[in-house]
Amino acid sequence: MIKKWGLIWFGMIILSWGLIACSGGESDNSSNVEGESEVKLNFVHWVNEDVGKWEQLINEYEAENPGVKIESTPLVENMDTASYYKQLDLLASAGEKLDVVMFSTAYDLAKRVDAGLMAPINSFLDEEGIDINQTYKNSYSPIDGQYYGLPMKNVTTLVMLNKEHLDEAGLEIPTDWTWEDYKDYAKAMTTDEHYGSYLHSWHDVHSSLKLQGSKENNNLLKADGTSNTENPLVKESLKLRYQLEEVDKSSVPYSDILSQKLNYRQQFFTGEASMIPIASYMVTEWGSFTPDFEIAWAPWPKNNSDSEIYAGMGGDLIGIAESSEHKQEAYDFIRWMSTEGISDQGLWVPSWTEADLEKTLKKLVESTPKPEAIDMESLLYTLEVTNPTETFAPPSYYAEVIKEFSAEVERYLLGEQDIDTTMENIHKRVQAVIGSNK
């Protein structure tokens, strides 16, 4: 979260930036207003005004910070991040002076750090006395010892359940459970009318369920870029999915997902499946579906009953462009935007640990077509008890790793090869990708 944009659109973007630059009257994005210096910061992102409600938010910031003007510029109108990054890279290569830049993932931020687009912010954090891991819940690992952005939106992996199906099976909403419990729940909720579970074709997540809940080494690669496919949790995850789909017959078969081109939203919201491991963006992003049942929420199942609850967290980040001539003002804005700003915006769950989570969730739920469909108690509990797994920005060739991994997983799930052959082939194919990219 791809259409190609042509030269006409690129010309419009360049023209819009030209107008922004010209409106300031000076190359350093500052102008004189009644004898006082006014700092102008251009803030680029992909969220259009209809969704982001930026104007009201920026007016609030400017009122609290006289002498600073924020120019909100969505580089695309269709909310497509792939197109956004193309435009961002074009602007950067053309030498446009940027101030504040938003990213959808730490991976996309890291790519622009490597390209020299972003400025480190450690000195600002040190001066303010901030521990980013304490201030923000979905913090990311530093890049060569430096941080280049602040987490803004928090997206937590969790399990979404059909409360009606839970009640019919006589089950409580899980609050602390394991993958063995998940299997039991899936079997208990499976009937002639629906499956108890649904796992989509995202092999890096739904075929790596146990790996995803590990506090560390929860990726197909390790932080040093070496393969993590020999981690026992990789094999255990594949066996878990196979057990659910082919042995217990309690999760939608992978063959059906492929042949019928199934949609995970459709499967859950129409009651075809009772639960799905997913992420908290589904609190509001129902697509064209409105459920006729109450949605319950549960933490990501644990690998061991005596461990803490860990789950992957991610979300948008906001940073300072290296080309900015007003880095202090830009830092002040991204600190506000990643704390009070995103809280006031009321569109997403903030990563800021001091945010009023219950208040934010109520506002989010009220924005849905059917607020009563959300079980608020289980949602709030799940987000509060979940700890973030350790993360890092994977190398640029990680997409190749996922592709090679997925090819072997598909053969296993379709019954074309056994688990040992699958694991052997995965090790070889992933290692080949790593070797070819050194």
Q: What is the pLDDT of residue 142?
A: 86
Mean predicted lDDT score pLDDT of the chain? 90
Task: Answer whether residue 17 shows pLDDT above 50.
Answer: no
Greatest mean pLDDT among 50-59, 104-113, 170-179:
170-179
User: What average pLDDT does the segment 186-208 reach?
Assistant: 97
- Contact residues for 101 (Cβ-Cβ < 8 A; gap 6+): 43, 44, 45, 88, 112, 117, 118, 318, 319, 320, 321
Instruction: Give the angle subtended at the CA of 153 by the CAs of 319 and 353, to the nearest 5°.
Output: 100
User: What average pLDDT does the segment 93-113 reach?
Assistant: 92
Task: Answer whether residue 370 shows pLDDT above 90.
Answer: yes
For 177-180, which contacts have Cβ atoms below 8 Å and span 24 or more sequence positions? Answer: 177/298, 177/299, 177/301, 177/302, 178/301, 178/302, 178/303, 178/304, 178/305, 179/209, 179/210, 179/240, 179/301, 179/302, 179/303
Task: Answer whether residue 11 shows pLDDT above 90.
Answer: no
pLDDT band for position 36 (cuts 50, 70, 90):
low
Least confident of 130-139, 169-178, 272-281: 130-139
User: What average pLDDT does the segment 333-342 reach?
Assistant: 97
Q: What is the pLDDT of residue 29?
A: 54
User: What average pLDDT does the segment 316-337 reach?
Assistant: 97
User: What average pLDDT does the segment 293-318 reach?
Assistant: 96
pLDDT band for position 393 (cuts 50, 70, 90):
confident
d(CA 42, CA 69): 9
Task: Answer whether residue 15 shows pLDDT above 80.
Answer: no
Q: What pLDDT, in 10s, does the model give residues 341-366?
A: 999 998 899 999 999 999 999 999 99
Task: Answer whether residue 81 shows pLDDT above 60.
Answer: yes
Q: What is the pLDDT of residue 16?
A: 35
For 13-20, which contacts have Cβ atoms below 8 Å and span 24 or more sequence positions? Answer: 13/75, 13/87, 13/90, 13/91, 14/91, 14/94, 14/96, 16/73, 17/42, 17/73, 17/91, 17/96, 20/71, 20/73
Instruction: Give the angle subtended at the CA of 120 by the CAs of 115 and 124, to the nearest 5°.
Output: 165
d(CA 241, CA 243): 5
Share of the chain above pLDDT 90, in %: 80
pLDDT band for position 391 (cuts 50, 70, 90):
confident
Q: What is the pLDDT of residue 78?
A: 83
pTM higher than 0.75 = yes
Task: Answer whether residue 244 shows pLDDT above 90.
Answer: yes
Q: What pLDDT, in 10s, does the model give residues 414-423?
A: 999 999 999 9
d(CA 383, CA 165): 22
Task: Answer whether residue 14 shows pLDDT above 60.
Answer: no
Greatest mean pLDDT among 28-32, 186-190, 215-219:
186-190
Measure Cα distances from 343 to 72, 339, 361, 382 in Å.
18, 6, 10, 19
Task: Name the packing angle between helices 7-24 and 81-93 (round to 10°).
Answer: 60
User: What average pLDDT does the segment 360-388 reach?
Assistant: 95
Measure Cα distances from 145 to 101, 121, 122, 140 in Å.
20, 11, 9, 12
Q: What is the pLDDT of residue 394?
A: 80
Q: What is the pLDDT of residue 412?
A: 98
